[in-house]
A and B are shown apart, each in its own frame.
Chain A
Amino acid sequence: EPEVTQTPSHQVTQMGQEVILRCVPISNHLYFYWYRQILGQKVEFLVSFYNNEISEKSEIFDDQFSVERPDGSNFTLKIRSTKLEDSAMYFCASSGQGGHQETQYFGPGTRLLVL
């Protein structure tokens, strides 16, 4: 069964450093998402991406964040200058043509620790 994959599974970085989290969505999906989950808290929406552009973003997704689909398969989240409070699990998700009406399939997540 096709699945969303994410790399790396864990990332430790120093405050102020840039990190890039990578995702490979399910191959025929058209909508892509990033979420984060701080330990013990709710899943929070960051951004959705469709047709090579951001379709929605939350207040969390400020100028420090950017997303890109550099080729036909990868979908990346970049944090330019990490802060301690960026420490969280970051999940990528994808869904098919129906967009918000369809099930979103989540990857296993990248655990980011900012020191």
Chain B
Amino acid sequence: KNQVEQSPQSLIILEGKNCTLQCNYTVSPFSNLRWYKQDTGRGPVSLTIMTFSENTKSNGRYTATLDADTKQSSLHITASQLSDSASYICVVSGGSNYQLIWGAGTKLIIKP
């Protein structure tokens, strides 16, 4: 069954610290993997999109990695800011019809 699992479920860190969020997937065939940021009550906003051949992609303080062999991805946030408080959702495009398969998200809280 095509699934996307994320960990941790939630995370609290102090402003200025770094953190890494994890995503494991069992989606076949694989097309691409996306990380979205979703503020409470808002629509998801794309951070990165990576295809099979890409190991890492950065967007400002956000760096995503992809290991297509182990079917794992991570999102690293550097020098966190209060505005980084949000849910971070890993989404994999694939399967027979290339639908987006959504993870449950990691809820990140940045404390001053």
Contacts and interface: CB of A to CB of B under 8 A. Distances in A.
Contacts of B104: 41-42
Given A42-B104, A44-B102, A103-B34, A56 B44 contact: no
A93 B34 CA distance: 15
Interface residues of A, number: 24
A65 interface: no
A109 B43 contact: yes
B103 A42 contact: yes
Contact of B49 (A43, A45, A99, A103): A103
Contacts of A109: 41-43
Interface of A is mostly: mixed
A43 B45 contact: no
A91 B43 contact: yes
Contact of A103 (B42, B43, B46, B99): B46
Interface of B: 31-32, 34, 41-46, 49, 51, 89, 93, 97-100, 102-105
Interface of A: 4, 41-45, 48, 56, 58, 89, 91, 93, 99-109, 111
